[in-house]
């Protein structure tokens, strides 16, 4: 029986920064807070990260339950398989997003038995009051997952907020269309506020929303400034740690706690730089995590890279912020309109830059920018088999990078975000070893 499977025992990953070390307890506390809220009858919203509605939920004092996060926790604790198998037994294909499968397996289990699955990681995930999807130009599970979850919780309403952003095209500029994108997003966010007021007995406090938006703007800036410090040689913080520090960025946006966390990280990185304290004592290769969600159950692979003298000063994944003051935003008084502009401008941030390089596009341009600014020697991507949101196009980006910029060593890792059965440690490490050999050969050639 799948119900009887127990997670494997494993050691915690070694962090380079104190900040990353704080994350585990923070996630645990947030999940406990969810359970407390449920107990006390407070509204809980199943939510997706990067959906531009964090500030709305916070301002309305609704408790977000980040379902991707909970699936990631199950994956990191190597206790997702029983939920994946449960979803499969419900006729969901194992090729679908494993965050969603883990969540659906968990929900169907909890709904069937009326209680948390036994030994649920960190106490489990509480039944939601509402589920908030989003319709973007990425990630089908953002509108399908919660619709599918309604099959097990038919009384829980779902809202899907349309959050499109302009594609990068040759024959028109995003500025030609931005106004109608912003108008639509504002209407959708306004619809979300009305939906939440209808289903949660909470009222929007618009002044509070303005304050929360202001905090999140400042947090965007602080994250950008802190992460920019990683350009230092030796690098004080790597992608392994960034896969921890993504927690306050993605799950706590709009809170003072998130801002303070990144201010502390900024200060810590400054101190490390002043002391010339890198992730490892002898930094030989600087790598870019060029895309792909991580294998949450195998974050120790980053330590393995470190053991070979390689560090990751930058990553594309979970760096979904840019300095707000660089986004060319119009000044608007409506906080929803501000959120809409920030969303559109964030996605168009590198359109102008890409236009200057024939054959480039904003994704390729970002790789080039990081390679130059972070003094990168090689690019690593991870293809998670179950995710068609962030992974299709990565191979092409690597190829195009080499066609329009320059040849640079690259490595493609393959497994999944949650499904550990897709992962082979020996094979992964053999690939890393071979990649390190390539980096060394290139370095020796350059002299």
Which positions touch another protein (CB under 8 A)? 90-93, 95-97, 100, 133, 135, 137-141, 143-145, 147-148, 150-151, 154, 157-160, 162, 164, 166-172, 176-177, 180-181, 183-184, 187-188, 191, 359, 361, 363, 383-389, 391-396, 399-400
- Residue among 181 and 285 whose Cβ is closer to another protein: 181
Least spacing, CB of residue 141 vs another protein, in Å: 6
- Residue among 170 and 282 whose Cβ is closer to another protein: 170
Q: How many CA atoms within 13 Å lie on the side-chain side of 291?
A: 21
Answer for the pair 69, 251: CB distance below 8 angstroms, yes or no.
yes
Least spacing, CB of residue 54 vs another protein, in Å: 20
User: CA torsion, points 182, 184, 190, 195, in degrees to nearest 10?
Assistant: -140
Least spacing, CB of residue 34 vs another protein, in Å: 24
- Residue among 151 and 276 whose Cβ is closer to another protein: 151
Least spacing, CB of residue 68 vs another protein, in Å: 15
| Contacts of the segment 10-16: beta carbons below 8 A, 24+ positions apart | 10/78, 13/240, 13/299, 13/300, 13/302, 13/303, 14/300, 14/303, 15/240, 15/241, 15/244, 16/236, 16/237, 16/238, 16/240, 16/241, 16/279
- Residue among 93 and 333 whose Cβ is closer to another protein: 93
- Residue among 21 and 162 whose Cβ is closer to another protein: 162
Q: Which helix (H) or strand (E) holds 45?
A: strand 44-47
Answer for the pair 163, 343: CB distance below 8 angstroms, yes or no.
yes
Distance CA 141, CA 85 (A): 18
Least spacing, CB of residue 181 vs another protein, in Å: 8
- Residue among 68 and 241 whose Cβ is closer to another protein: 68
Beta bridge partners of 174: none
- Residue among 2 and 150 whose Cβ is closer to another protein: 150
- Residue among 73 and 401 whose Cβ is closer to another protein: 401
Residue matched to tokens 């972070």: 374
Distance CA 338, CA 376 (A): 35
Q: How many CA atoms within 13 Å lie on the side-chain side of 72?
A: 22
Distance CA 66, CA 97 (A): 15
Residue matched to tokens 């010339």: 276
Least spacing, CB of residue 413 vs another protein, in Å: 13
Q: Helix 81-89 vs helix 98-113: angle between axes, to the nearest 10 degrees? A: 80
Cis amide prior to 415 (ω within 30 degrees): no
- Residue among 145 and 261 whose Cβ is closer to another protein: 145
Least spacing, CB of residue 260 vs another protein, in Å: 36
Distance CA 132, CA 192 (A): 9
- Residue among 193 and 237 whose Cβ is closer to another protein: 193
63-66 sheet: strands from edge to edge: 63-66, 44-47, 130-135, 158-162
Distance CA 430, CA 432 (A): 5
Q: Tokens representing 32?
A: 């406990």
Distance CA 374, CA 242 (A): 15
Least spacing, CB of residue 139 vs another protein, in Å: 7
Least spacing, CB of residue 60 vs another protein, in Å: 20
User: CA torsion, points 234, 236, 239, 241, in degrees to nearest 10?
Assistant: 150
Q: Which helix (H) or strand (E) holds 265?
A: helix 256-274
Least spacing, CB of residue 363 vs another protein, in Å: 7
Least spacing, CB of residue 383 vs another protein, in Å: 6
- Residue among 113 and 307 whose Cβ is closer to another protein: 113
- Cα angle 60, 63, 68 (rounded to 5 degrees) comes to 125
């Amino acid at each position: 029986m799948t119900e009887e499977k127990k997670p494997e025992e494993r050691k915690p990953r070694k962090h380079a920064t104190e900040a990353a070390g704080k994350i585990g307890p923070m996630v645990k506390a947030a999940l406990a807070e969810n359970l407390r809220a449920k107990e006390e009858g407070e509204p809980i919203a199943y939510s997706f990260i990067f959906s531009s509605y964090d500030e709305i939920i916070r301002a309305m004092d609704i408790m977000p339950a980040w379902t991707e996060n909970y699936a990631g926790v199950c994956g990191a604790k190597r206790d997702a398989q029983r939920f994946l198998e449960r979803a499969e037994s419900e006729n969901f294909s194992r090729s679908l997003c494993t965050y969603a499968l883990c969540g659906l397996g968990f929900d169907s289990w909890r709904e069937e038995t009326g209680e948390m699955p036994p030994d649920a990681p960190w106490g489990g995930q509480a039944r939601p009051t509402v589920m908030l999807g989003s319709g973007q130009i990425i990630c089908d599970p953002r509108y399908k997952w919660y619709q599918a979850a309604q099959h097990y919780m038919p009384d829980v309403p779902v809202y899907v907020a349309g959050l499109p952003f302009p594609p990068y095209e040759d024959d028109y500029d995003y500025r030609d269309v931005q106004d109608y994108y912003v108008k639509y997003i504002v209407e959708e966010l306004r619809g979300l506020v009305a939906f939440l007021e209808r289903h949660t007995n909470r009222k929007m406090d618009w002044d509070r929303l303005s304050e929360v938006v202001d905090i999140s703007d400042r947090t965007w800036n602080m994250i950008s400034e802190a992460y920019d410090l990683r350009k230092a040689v030796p690098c004080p913080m790597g992608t392994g740690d960034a896969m921890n520090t993504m927690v306050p960025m993605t799950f706590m946006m709009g809170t003072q706690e998130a801002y303070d966390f990144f201010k502390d990280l900024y200060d810590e990185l400054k101190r490390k730089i002043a002391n010339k304290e890198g992730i490892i004592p002898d930094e030989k290769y600087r790598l870019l995590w060029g895309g792909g969600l991580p294998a949450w159950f195998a974050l120790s692979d980053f330590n393995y890279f470190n053991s070979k003298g390689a560090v990751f000063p930058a990553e594309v994944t979970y760096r979904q912020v840019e300095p707000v003051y660089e986004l060319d935003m119009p000044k608007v008084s409506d906080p929803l309109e501000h959120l809409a502009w920030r969303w559109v401008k964030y996605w168009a941030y590198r359109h102008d830059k890409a236009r200057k390089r024939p054959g480039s596009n904003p994704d390729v341009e970002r790789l080039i920018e990081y390679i130059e600014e972070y003094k990168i020697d090689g690019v690593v991507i991870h293809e998670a088999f179950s995710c068609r949101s962030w992974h299709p196009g990565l191979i092409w980006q690597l190829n195009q990078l080499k066609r329009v910029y320059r040849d640079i060593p690259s490595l493609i890792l393959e497994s999944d975000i949650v499904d550990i059965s897709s992962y082979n440690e020996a094979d992964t490490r053999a690939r890393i070893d071979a990649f390190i050999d390539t980096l060394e050969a290139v370095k020796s050639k350059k002299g």
